[in-house]
Structure 1
Amino acid sequence: MTTATLRLATPTPFERMLRQAALGLARHVDRRIAARAERRDIALDMLREQQARKQDPRAVDHALAQLGLPRR
């Protein structure tokens, strides 16, 4: 009787396959979440750096001159 009980308590091959698939999917999702968080951190750092840079008042005039447009 104990062998019958033990056989019922162990997962079937299909259940083991499903468990492995679920673990693989969870790892994939975790990697995507981590990569997205890293990209977000990089974007925020770039935004902070861009906002911290001093604006050159002549930059717009220079860009307009390069396009051949009259200055402001």
Structure 2
Amino acid sequence: MHFYLEVMALPEAERAAALTDRRDALRARRDDPVAQLLADDLDAQLAGPNKPLREALPPAPDGD
């Protein structure tokens, strides 16, 4: 969690590089399953927001 706060404090143009650097360092620790899970999480962060689980609801019908 602390790392994400550090990244948020960086200028926006530097954030992706910081995430990529940390991900690569974690991937290098091949024998550490926790490092691999953290690297997976960083990959998800770099990929951007998830697609919504559902589409927006249609407008409610009139009460007539």
By the TM > 0.5 criterion, same fold? no
Compute the TM-score of the two structures, normalised by the length of structure 1.
0.27
* RCO higher in structure (CA 8 A, sep ≥6): 2
Compute the TM-score of the two structures, normalised by the length of structure 2.
0.30
Which of the two has greater helix per residue? Answer: 1
Give the greater-gyration-radius structure (CA).
1
